[in-house]
Structures are given as structure tokens and as C-alpha cells.
Amino acid sequence: MPFSIVAGDITELSVDAIVNAANSQLAMGGGVCGAIFHKAGPLELQHACDSMAPVQTGDAVITPGFALPAKYIIHTVGPVYSPGQAAQCAQLLRSAYLSALDLAWENKCQSIAFPLISSGIFGYPKAEALDIAVTAIRDFLKDHDDLDVQLVMYDRTAYTVREELLEPVQRYVAGYYEGTDKISYEADVLYDLIPPHEADAEEIAQAPRVSYRRKPAKPRLGDLEHMISDLDEPFNTTLLRLIDAKGMTDAEVYKRANIDRRLFSKIRTGKGYLPSKRTILALAIALELNLDETDDLLARAGYTLSRSQKFDVIVQYFISTGYYDIYDINKVLFYYDQPLLGAS
């Protein structure tokens, strides 16, 4: 997928470029910088860096990766955090990401991995650093195709998401498992099991988001031919119809879905290719479908939203509240150690 958050050690990644959280002198430091120098070969890397220092805060330079699996190292200089100059720090941190991305693009990289710049020794609060990183990357990817960007979290336990985004999801997920949301679950089950005329009228009236799914009668053998000739509209036809109805361009859809352009065109042509459930949910988010529309789109590919999987419950929360920012949703999914939305 074009953007993902991953856990791990950036020095082990076989990508075109890894980004170093550097200082202006491009001197070997601690943190991720120390790890990169050690693995790349400190002498060779320092020699290459010395010819390019100093580098202004917010700027970046590129060197070979030397002994690293990555082809290049892009050294970008984030700001030292100062609470009294928060706006200026935010601007410099954004610039550090964009400078590195520009360099990767100029050097024809197809994949790049970032650590969370400035969030260690330079003291940037992690949730804010994450927001700035993700927004800068998203903005860059709006005008650039075919670049995979990973944000690498070394210390999984220190990963945090802005409170206003996370807290309502935490409440929803906790409520779901503790039974706060049981009423809607029971209502659906009730409807699934008995026809509506047998259900209590008041229960039906009060039940939120109830759908009675008619169970198809068991087909007789003679009906089979008719049923096959009368299949529902296939997945990709429905998808194209929805895209038209929403008046979106293909590029808008695959970018908002965090899906690779090439994968999207494969889905579009539909020739025997069935996307994964995660990809379809990403498309549902991109198209801002409501829950019924999402259920319908999933069903056309043979999938369903489960009530017993955390991933599904979280995505369902965002869809039901009409919040369709896939980058924010992925921040929360990563927090819950769930797979992210987009192509696998």
C-alpha cells in the first residue's frame, strides 16, 4: 500500500531509501542515527556525510546506504522541540519530511521508510510528531504515484495517537465487548432468526440499525440454471457504478483508499481478480459509503463485517460515525495492533 505504519528496526528494511533522523552537522549520534551509522559502516558513512554538512533544520541530503540493505540513506534534520515555538517546530518538522520525500522522488525511489523524526532525543511529543508526519506524507502522495512510504515505530509501547481521535474509539470498542452496544447486536440476531411479523413490534421500533435478511428458500435443482443466469451485479460493476455516482476520479479513489494505482486498475478491469476484504473496506472509506452500502459492497465479493473481530468493529465505528480519513483510521488500527486499510 502507498502508506503504512509498521513496527520494527528501520536499519533492517530492504527499501530504496531509509531516512535518518540527523543533526545539522551530520555527525554520528545516538538513537536511530547511531543504529544507522553502525550498520551502514560508520567510517564510510561519516566520510560521505562530512562533505555535505552542515544541513539546515528542515532540509535533507542523500548518501548511499553502504552496508545497509537499503540503497540510500536520506539524512533529514528535524527540529529540537520547544513548547514556546510549537508552530515553528511543526513547520520545520513537516519540511523535514517533505525534503526527504522530494529527494527520494528525485532519485527515483519506489519505497522509503521513515523513523518518527524528532520524537526521541529532540523531544517532540510523539502523538503530535505522528500527526505531522502522516499529514506531510499524505500531502506528498496526493501528487505522487507509485511510491511506498513506511513509518517505522521502533518502540511499539511508546506509540500514541492524539486523544480526540483515539478516545471515542476506545469507548466504542470497550462498549462493544462489554455489552454496551449489545442492543444492536441482539436486535440483528433477533431479526436474522425470526420473520418480522413474529417479532415484538416495540422491540423492532426501538432496535437501532436493524436489517431483516430474508433467508433464501432452498433451491430445487431445476432452479439452479435460472439462479446462475440471474446473479447479482458483480463486485467491480458495482464499484464502478458507485465511483460514477459519487462523481470521483479514479485517482481520487485509489489515493483516498490508500491503494496502489496498479492494484486499482487490476480491480477496475475485474478480470477474475477479487480484492481482499481490507481493500474493499478501503474503497468503501474512499467512497464514503454508509454501513448498508459497505455491507452490500462486501457481500458482492463474498465478505461480511464481523462483530467478533476487533478490526471490523473499529472500521465499523468510523463508517457509522461518517469519519472517512483513512490515514487517521490506520493510525488507530495500528494502535490496536490490527492490519491497516489498503492493499495487503
| Region label for 318, one of left (φ > 0), alpha (ψ between -120 and 50) or beta (otherwise) | alpha
Residues that bind ligand APR (rule: CB under 6 A) add up to a total of 25
The window from 16-24, 55-63, 179-187, 279-287 that contacts ligand APR (CB under 6 A) reads 16-24
CA–CA gap between residue 24 and residue 86 (Å, rounded):
20
- Pick between residue 158 and residue 189 the one whose CB is nearest to ligand APR: 158
The per-residue b/e assignment along 234-253, b for 16 or more CB within 10 angstroms, e otherwise, is ebbebbeebbeeeebeeeeb
- Pick between residue 11 and residue 236 the one whose CB is nearest to ligand APR: 11
CA–CA gap between residue 334 and residue 344 (Å, rounded):
14
Least Cα distance to 153 among 343, 342, 333 occurs for 333
> Shortest approach of ligand APR to residue 265 CB, angstroms?
33
The window from 53-61, 110-118, 143-151, 239-247 that contacts ligand APR (CB under 6 A) reads 110-118
> Shortest approach of ligand APR to residue 41 CB, angstroms?
16
Q: Which of 65, 78, 275, 342 binds ligand APR (CB under 6 A)?
A: 78
Q: Which of 41, 71, 98, 121 binds ligand APR (CB under 6 A)?
A: 121
Q: Which of 7, 14, 30, 292 binds ligand APR (CB under 6 A)?
A: 30
- Pick between residue 55 and residue 284 the one whose CB is nearest to ligand APR: 55
Residue 4 engages ligand APR in binding (rule: CB under 6 A): no
Residue 122 engages ligand APR in binding (rule: CB under 6 A): yes
The window from 149-157, 209-217, 231-239, 273-281 that contacts ligand APR (CB under 6 A) reads 149-157
Residue 50 engages ligand APR in binding (rule: CB under 6 A): no
Query: Max alpha carbon distance in the chain (Å)?
Result: 81
Q: Which of 32, 48, 136, 343 binds ligand APR (CB under 6 A)?
A: 32
> Shortest approach of ligand APR to residue 9 CB, angstroms?
4
Residue 120 engages ligand APR in binding (rule: CB under 6 A): yes
- Which residues are registered as beta bridge partners of 19? 74
The window from 20-28, 86-94, 270-278, 304-312 that contacts ligand APR (CB under 6 A) reads 20-28
- Pick between residue 30 and residue 219 the one whose CB is nearest to ligand APR: 30
The whole-angstrom distance between residue 129's C-alpha and the CA centroid of its chain comes to 17
Q: Which of 15, 17, 19, 22 binds ligand APR (CB under 6 A)?
A: 22
Residue 130 engages ligand APR in binding (rule: CB under 6 A): no
Phi/psi for 191 (5° steps) reads -70, -30
* Residues whose CB is less than 8 angstroms from the CB of residue 83 and which lie 6 or more positions away in sequence, other chains included: none
The window from 7-15, 176-184, 261-269, 274-282 that contacts ligand APR (CB under 6 A) reads 7-15
Residue 175 engages ligand APR in binding (rule: CB under 6 A): no
> Shortest approach of ligand APR to residue 36 CB, angstroms?
7
The window from 31-39, 83-91, 226-234, 260-268 that contacts ligand APR (CB under 6 A) reads 31-39
Residue 33 engages ligand APR in binding (rule: CB under 6 A): yes
Name the site residues for ligand APR (rule: CB under 6 A).
9-11, 21-23, 29-35, 78, 115-122, 152, 154-155
